[in-house]
Amino acid sequence: MQNLSGPSNTHTTLFAIAGFIIGAVAWSGHLYTLLLLLLLPVLLPLAVTRVHFVALMVAYHAGATWTLVPGSHVFFGSAFRPMDSLLLWFGAILVLTLPYAITRLFDRSQLYWALPAALIIAVFLPTSIENPLTIAGALFPRLGWVGLLLTLFLYGAITRKPVLSLSFAAFLFAVCHLYATGSPQAPLSWTGVDTRFGGTGFVASNTMSSYEDAIKIQAVAHDSTASVTVFPETVVKSWNGATDLFWQPTFDELASNGRTIVVGAEESGAKLGSYSNVLMIRGAQTAVFRQRVPIPIAMWHPFDDLGVPLNVSGPATITINGARVAPIICYEQLLSFPVLDAMRSHPAILLGVANDYWARDTSIPQLQSSSLVAWSRLFWVPIVSAVNQ
């Protein structure tokens, strides 16, 4: 019988199938399917040839990101052809696989530290969506940074002693879930409003529909009894001085009652074709929060100064109504850096806002939600969410 480590097409296919299943099921939008990610460090030591390694990791990222194909088609609308969606998907798979190439620079016996190192490197890449470290929230709720370090240790330990390490993980999992019952609860004075304004990413907004949407938002804000009412990302397509004047009566009314609204908007930049993806805080408080990591290519253009700028050095939190808040905007919910950076400031609320019209009929909204829930449970910080569908 041929050894599993032998270079055979059959074994390469098996690694590819296993990787795709792990990626697709783990990132299907449910918190506890993330536990399937623990199979990666089980299989990596078995992938002794480069072909096996490439088959496993490329297929894993293909399974984790396949929803980019229908999602990008809706986002770009008629500006994108089916082949463009496939090329974007293939490019994403390649970029996502690169950090894990570090594990092939060393002998298999070094995987116990090379794999955690790859996971840490992936945290700091603005393209590194769906980091396996997200599993920490499903494994070790309420343990915070200790839970994150335990997860890194576990990924390394499994590569050497899978049975013992998985048994240890199961024991800690049970203990943590006995301790962390329920879910962290957001303040009753905060409310998030979901909307259904539709649209596509590259189609200019209709002036009349934008006006009608603004009237609806103001009506909801007027009727809300919450101290802070949160609306989704970019429900106001263009925010400028004229927008402020149009909304001023609503702001004055809110301020007189000590209430605040948070509205997602696009704010024009200094250069034509550039803009910022922001949260406008108005009413009892006036402030602006700018998105830190926009979607590469679609929003952030790495090779020019158009689109939305990368803002990793910007503030990770903002104080609203006396509470320290960590806004995690749409794409950022699939990353680990924005949340982990914000957690250094000990926020009281995770503010999850998104505009997911472009991801309809895909699992992307569920993926964003489950990722945010995982981080919420790990650090035991409540979520206030608002999503446009």
Q: What is the pLDDT of residue 176?
A: 95
At residue 238, what is the residue type?
A: S
Q: Are 287 and 248 in contact (CB under 8 A)?
A: no
Question: Which residues in the chain land under pLDDT 70?
Answer: 1-8, 77-79, 198-206
Q: What is the pLDDT of residue 203?
A: 52
Look up residue 33 and give its two tokens. 């399917």
Within a domain: residue 185?
no
- Domain end marker among 179, 202, 227: 179
Same domain for 293 and 198, yes or no, is yes
- Domain end marker among 148, 179, 210: 179
Q: pLDDT tens-digit profile of 103-113?
A: 888 777 889 99
Same domain for 140 and 58, yes or no, is yes
The count of other CB atoms within 10 Å of the CB of residue 266 is 20
Look up residue 115 and give its two tokens. 């794999």
Structural domain boundaries, residue 232:
190-388
Same domain for 25 and 148, yes or no, is yes
Same domain for 173 and 199, yes or no, is no
The span from the CA of 140 to the CA of 146, in Å, is: 9
Handedness of CA 246, 252, 257, 263 (dihedral sign): positive
Q: What is the pLDDT of residue 251?
A: 94
Alpha helices in the chain (DSSP H): 9-26, 40-43, 50-65, 68-76, 82-97, 111-123, 136-139, 144-158, 162-179, 207-223, 241-256, 337-343, 364-379
Within a domain: residue 325?
yes
Within a domain: residue 262?
yes
Q: What is the pLDDT of residue 205?
A: 59
DSSP-assigned states of every residue in 111-155: HHHHHHHHHHHHHT-TT--S-GGGGHHHHSTT-HHHHHHHHHHHH
The span from the CA of 193 to the CA of 386, in Å, is: 5
The span from the CA of 169 to the CA of 163, in Å, is: 10
Within a domain: residue 341?
yes
**In whole angstroms, how far apart are CA 279 and each of 72, 233, 327, 331, 371?**
24, 7, 9, 15, 21
Give the number of domains in the chain. 2
Look up residue 121 and give its two tokens. 């490197």
Within a domain: residue 243?
yes
134 half-sphere exposure, CB direction, 13 A CA radius: 32
DSSP-assigned states of every residue in 252-319: HHHHHTT-EEEEEEEEE-SSTTBEEEEEEEEES--EEEE-SSPPBTTTB-TTSS-BSPP-TTS-S-EE
Largest CA distance in the chain: 80
Same domain for 315 and 194, yes or no, is yes
Its pTM stands at 0.92
Same domain for 107 and 224, yes or no, is no
Comparing CA positions, the residue from 39, 41, 28, 56 lying closest to residue 130 is: 28
- Domain end marker among 158, 179, 200: 179
Same domain for 249 and 366, yes or no, is yes
Same domain for 293 and 338, yes or no, is yes
Comparing CA positions, the residue from 334, 331, 343, 347 lying closest to residue 298 is: 331
Q: Domain of 260: which CATH number?
A: 3.60.110.10
Same domain for 197 and 154, yes or no, is no
The single-letter DSSP state of residue 84 is H
Q: What is the pLDDT of residue 199?
A: 57
Handedness of CA 39, 41, 43, 44 (dihedral sign): positive
The count of other CB atoms within 10 Å of the CB of residue 144 is 16
Same domain for 246 and 309, yes or no, is yes
Same domain for 76 and 156, yes or no, is yes
Within a domain: residue 184?
no
Q: pLDDT tens-digit profile of 313-323?
A: 999 999 999 99
Q: What is the pLDDT of residue 7?
A: 52
Within a domain: residue 228?
yes
Same domain for 258 and 216, yes or no, is yes
Within a domain: residue 71?
yes
